[in-house]
Amino acid sequence: MIEKTYLKTKPQCKVKFALPADALNGAKSIALVGDFNDWDETATIMRKQKTGMFASTINLEKGKQYQFRYLINGTTWLNDDSADAYIPSPVSPDENCVIDI
């Protein structure tokens, strides 16, 4: 799930990325990894909510397109079904999620 909230006072959008507990099969950790954090697997660790959902909110600059994926337990890559688009990854046979801001 992706929620976009455009800020009126800044050229940014507050974006909440969330994954429901039932889609995670008992995940212990989830990292939000993308070109907005230089694909750093430790830069944006998602927090587990009381509901079991994992979520993270970041500010992204308006008028840009960003690629991202989720990394589950440091080993398994996952895409978001609510991404705006998907494009081939330059480093694997998988696709990256795309979000338009």
* Fold assignment, 2-100: Immunoglobulin-like (2.60.40)
Instruction: Calculate mean pLDDT across residues 1-30.
Output: 91
User: Has residue 45 got a pLDDT over 90?
Assistant: yes
Torsion of CA 50, 55, 84, 79, to 10 degrees: -90
DSSP readout, 5-24? EE-SSSSEEEEEEEE-GGGS
Of all residues in the chain, the percent with pLDDT exceeding 70 is: 100
pLDDT at site 27? 87
User: Has residue 28 got a pLDDT over 80?
Assistant: yes
Could you tell me if 46 and 21 are in contact, meaning their C-beta atoms sit under 8 angstroms apart?
A: no
68-97: pLDDT as tens digits:
999 999 999 999 999 999 999 988 889 999
